[in-house]
């Protein structure tokens, strides 16, 4: 009984369909292959794909690789992997903008022939000065009077490598007096000798984004070109390009650009520059460090595609910039894993317990239900022995009031096992507790006493003999939230406690866990097997999220 209201993009699309401005919906996700995708990109991917699905249309994955400086094949591969992992299927519609370089060149020639573009010899600084400011109109480019023949010849010369990098540009002839600076004869082609990951050294001229992007959309038959708000002021230029090139007839026709607000996460770093620095400084172990929010990092941390889909859905689509809480993302993964994952026993900070009245050498395999809320996950048997580990936090020598876990003289329930009572403790020469001595009540097997005796505390445990030692990592935000994300000098406020590495003891069943497998560790949270540092038979567990939440839907 959720009321489903349509977001503003859906409203535009439905209007366009009903008024016949397009026959079908065709969207695209156009990443530049210059880095890894992050949670913000996931929003764009799922939005574009979701719209295509919803309206029975098509979705393209297109690499917007028209600026070769930072583009690399490695990123093409990682982006494909991430998009696929998110549950998006582009079928046979994988495209590279660089495959349209010939068509873009022809489009530029067409503009020149129409008198709508000219070659200028102004350098970058001069162009900036001539362009004017918000309060000051632009000035005519002194080269704008060149004839069409001259321009055709010079542009061909640019293509043929006759001119130095930066010595000539092709400008669209629009309006130097426009109140929109983007319309003041924008540069559409530049000379730059750069090796391209796809086209190699074929080209020494490259189109500018504002010229290339609308052409890419038009070639592919994109109807709704969805981008983020910072491109709002570029929309008139988008329309100018597709209209001048004859791809669009009338302002309601498609392709059309629609802007929406970027997804930001409060107190979370997504900027490439900062992440690069964290990697270089050795604070994180790569772009996929589980503390980051790249798609690869979220996957490694143990987030699922479903949890990210849910998160993006909860964030909604809007025209106003806002920032979502990381706690909402945590809520989404908890909700996703709650019913799906077995609940295992792990002791993160182990302390030894000896049950003095339990037979030495004896082992009982106690039945344990894997997930009380989901019978389908079945049950397992967990070995119980005289020597066990419990968590250090579950014992206090001098407890405060309302402490119901283990302390001298108190009886607690060992989860799924027996009632035990702490009788004494052994300390080492430094006064640190080494061993807790208990007695157990054999009648309380399974966790209840036939005499109806109640205990208030229930704690998890692992057999000392059968349990396994593993590395467990707990995470906090990589930025110090109290100080805010950035210092005055622009550097990051790094939280020195963002990673805690523990030597923990887990149930033997967990040793079979494979990379990306995840579990609830009872009372501790959800954990995922690290895909980078685990070895066969020696899993490393990353905490995805704790069980407690401050977030309310």
b vs e for 517-531, b when ≥16 Cβ sit within 10 Å of the residue's Cβ? bbbbbbbbbbbbbbb
Q: Minimum CB separation from Mg ion for residue 455, in Å?
A: 56
| Smallest separation (angstroms) from Mg ion to the CB of 261 | 16
Asked if 242 touches ligand ATP (CB under 6 A), the answer is no
Query: Among all residues, whose Cβ is closest to ligand ATP?
Result: 40
Contact of 486 with 267, CB cutoff 8 Å: no
**Which of 103, 180, 228, 471 is close enough to bind ligand ATP by CB under 6 A?**
228
| Spatial separation of the C-alpha atoms in residues 174 and 185, rounded to whole Å | 5
DSSP SS3 for 451: coil
Which 148-207 residues touch ligand ATP, going by CB under 6 A? none
Region of 36-44, 99-107, 126-134, 487-495 interacting with ligand ATP (CB under 6 A): 36-44
Which does residue 228 bind out of Mg ion, ligand ATP, none, counting CB within 5 to 8 angstroms by kind? ligand ATP
Min dist CB 72 to ligand ATP, Å, is: 13
Give the binding-site size for ligand ATP (rule: CB under 6 A).
14
Tell the smallest beta-carbon distance from residue 261 to ligand ATP (Å).
8
Residue 494 C-beta: closest distance to ligand ATP, Å: 20
Residue selected from 16, 27, 44, 517 as contacting ligand ATP according to rule CB under 6 A: 44
Would you say 35 or 342 has its CB closer to ligand ATP? 35
Per partner kind, with CB cut-offs from 5 to 8 A, the member of Mg ion, ligand ATP, none near residue 208 is none
Contact between 542 and ligand ATP by CB under 6 A: the answer reads no
Nearer to ligand ATP, 10 or 32 (CB): 32
Segment interacting with ligand ATP (CB under 6 A) among 37-45, 363-371, 472-480, 502-510:
37-45
Residue 540 found at the interface with ligand ATP (CB under 6 A): no
Kindly state the smallest distance separating residue 416's Cβ from ligand ATP, in Å: 45
Q: Determine if 312 is a binding residue for ligand ATP (CB under 6 A).
A: no
- In the sheet that 458-459 helps form, which strands lie side by side, from edge to edge? 458-459, 411-414, 419-427, 433-441, 350-355, 387-391, 462-463
User: What is d(CA 224, CA 238) in angstroms, rounded to the nearest whole number?
Assistant: 12
- Would you give the binding string for ligand ATP spanning residues 259-278, x where CB under 6 A is met? ---xx------x-x------
- Residue 125, burial from CB neighbour count under 10 angstroms (0-12, 13-18, 19+): exposed
- By CB under 5 A, what part of segment 19-38 binds Mg ion? 32
Question: 389 and 464 in contact (C-beta within 8 Å)?
Answer: yes
Nearest 10 degrees: CA dihedral of 335, 336, 338, 339?
130
Main-chain dihedrals φ then ψ at residue 367, nearest 5 degrees? -75, 135
DSSP states of 336-393: HHHTTS-EE-EESSEEEEEETTSPTT--EEEEEES-TT-GGG-EEEEEE-SEEEEEGG
Output the smallest distance, CB 55 to ligand ATP, in A: 19
Q: Report what 263 binds from Mg ion, ligand ATP, none; CB cut-off 5-8 Å by kind.
A: ligand ATP
β-pairing, 468-475 vs 499-506, is antiparallel
**Class of residue 383 by CB neighbours under 10 A (exposed 0-12, middle 13-18, buried 19+):** middle
Residues 401, 522, 266: CA angle, nearest 5 degrees: 90
Angle at 32 between CA 198 and CA 157, to 5 degrees: 50
Determine the 3-state secondary structure of 204 from DSSP: coil
Q: In terms of residues, how long is the chain? A: 553
* Residue 449 contact, options ligand ATP, Mg ion, none, Cβ 5-8 Å cut-off depending on partner type: none
Closest distance between ligand ATP and the C-beta of residue 196, in Å?
Answer: 17
Between residues 31 and 467, which has the closer beta carbon with respect to ligand ATP? 31
At 104, list the tokens.
């873009």
Q: Which residues bind Mg ion (CB under 5 A)?
A: 32
Q: Which residues bind ligand ATP (CB under 6 A)?
A: 30-32, 35, 40-41, 43-44, 227-228, 262-263, 270, 272
């Amino acid at each position: 009984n959720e009321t489903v209201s349509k977001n503003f993009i859906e409203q535009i699309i439905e209007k366009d369909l009903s008024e016949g401005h397009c026959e079908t919906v065709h969207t695209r996700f156009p990443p530049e292959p210059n880095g890894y995708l992050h949670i913000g990109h996931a929003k764009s991917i799922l939005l574009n794909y979701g719209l295509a699905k919803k309206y029975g249309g098509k979705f393209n994955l297109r690499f917007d690789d028209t600026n070769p400086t930072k583009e690399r094949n490695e990123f093409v591969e990682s982006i494909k992997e991430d998009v696929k992992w998110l549950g998006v299927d582009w079928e046979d519609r994988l495209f590279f903008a660089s495959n349209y370089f010939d068509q873009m060149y022809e489009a530029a020639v067409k503009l020149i022939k129409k008198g709508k573009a000219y070659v200028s010899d102004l350098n970058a600084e001069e162009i900036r000065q001539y362009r004017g400011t918000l309060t000051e109109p632009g000035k005519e480019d002194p080269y704008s009077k060149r004839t069409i023949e001259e321009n055709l010849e010079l542009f061909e010369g640019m293509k043929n490598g006759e001119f130095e990098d930066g010595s000539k540009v092709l400008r669209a002839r629009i309006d130097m007096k426009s109140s929109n600076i983007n319309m003041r004869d924008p540069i559409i082609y530049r000379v730059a000798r750069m090796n391209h990951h796809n086209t190699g050294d074929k080209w020494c001229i490259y189109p500018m984004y504002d010229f290339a992007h609308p052409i890419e959309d038009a070639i592919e038959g994109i109807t709704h070109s969805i981008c983020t708000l910072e491109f709002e002021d570029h929309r008139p230029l988008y329309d100018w390009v597709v209209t001048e090139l004859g791809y669009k007839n009338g302002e309601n026709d498609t392709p059309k650009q629609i802007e929406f607000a970027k997804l930001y996460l409060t107190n979370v770093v997504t900027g490439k520059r900062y992440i690069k620095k964290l990697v270089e400084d050795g604070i994180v172990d790569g772009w996929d460090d589980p503390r980051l929010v790249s798609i690869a990092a979220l996957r490694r941390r143990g987030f699922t595609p479903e949890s990210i889909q849910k998160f993006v859905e909860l964030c909604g689509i809007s025209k106003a910039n806002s920032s979502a809480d990381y706690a909402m993302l945590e809520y989404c993964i908890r909700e996703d894993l709650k019913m799906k994952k077995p609940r295992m026993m792990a002791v993160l900070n182990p302390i030894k317990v000896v049950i003095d009245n339990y037979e030495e050498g004896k082992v009982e395999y106690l039945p344990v239900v894997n997930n009380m809320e989901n019978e389908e996950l079945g049950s397992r048997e967990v070995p119980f022995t005289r020597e066990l580990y419990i968590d250090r936090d579950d014992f206090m020598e001098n407890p405060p009031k309302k402490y119901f876990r283990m302390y001298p003289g108190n009886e607690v329930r060992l989860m799924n096992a027996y009632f035990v009572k702490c009788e004494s403790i052994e300390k080492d020469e430094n006064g640190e507790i080494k061993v807790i001595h208990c007695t157990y009540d054999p009648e309380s097997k399974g966790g209840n006493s036939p005499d109806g005796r109640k205990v208030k505390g229930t704690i998890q445990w692992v057999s000392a003999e059968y349990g396994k030692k593993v590395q467990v990592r707990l995470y906090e935000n990589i930025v110090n939230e109290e100080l805010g994300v950035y210092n005055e000098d622009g550097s990051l406020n790094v939280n020195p406690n963002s990673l805690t590495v523990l030597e923990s003891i887990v149930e033997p069943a967990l040793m079979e866990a494979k990379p990306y497998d995840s579990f609830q560790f009872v009372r501790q949270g959800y954990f995922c097997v690290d895909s980078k540092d685990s070895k066969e038979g020696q899993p490393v567990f990353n905490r995805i999220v704790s069980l407690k939440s401050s977030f309310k839907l």
